Amino acid sequence: MPPRPTPGDIRFESLGIAKALATKQLCVPVYQRDYSWGTEEVKDLFQDLNAALNDGTYFLGAIVLNRLNGSRFEVVDGQQRLATVSIFLAAIRDYFQEQANDDLNVEYLHTFLSTTDPHARARIPRLTLNIDDNQFFRSYVLSPPGDAARSVPPARESHRLLQRAARLAKDHVESIIHGRSDADKTAMLVRRVEFLRSGPTN
């Protein structure tokens, strides 16, 4: 059985989930379970976000991280929420790229999904899932719209759940912007990203 983190390894910090994604390199340990959220859990997260926006509170559940080195952290708890929020942010990125032709906001959303390795001249994902799910997550979710990697077929149940979550996230983005002006569409989506980034205010 893998060694458990010692109490001195774990740090508790109040920050938004998106801010954690934007400022840290997060990896799910190989021994952690696969992505397991179904339709109900994904929709519940989106509903919780809507409710939090409406009443001004912020609590989407805690995440527990174990520092490995520098800005690299192991996800001890909260990987399902982190993965689902990443999927939602990727769906917003896709909207700005495909529908709004908004390069500025596409780049802004990329800060939560990946960082640039200047030596490899490549984007490195902010969140790495476990060994069974990571490649599918990178290809199907993190790859930009139109990339051939998006056509990768699911090979296991967790891949199908990731695929379903991505479709639910796209539907949720469409429900947010339905019937609004272009300016309002942008404002509504950016508001959600900023809210996820801001974290608790008390």
pLDDT digit string (tens) for 32-91? Answer: 899 999 999 999 999 999 988 888 776 677 788 888 887 789 998 899 999 999 999 999
pLDDT digit string (tens) for 106-149? Answer: 999 999 999 877 676 777 899 999 999 999 999 999 999 999 99
Give dist(CA 60, CA 45) in Å, integer.
7
Give dist(CA 31, CA 8) in Å, integer.
21
> pTM for the complete prediction?
0.89
On whether the CB atoms of residues 154 and 136 are closer than 8 A, the answer is: yes
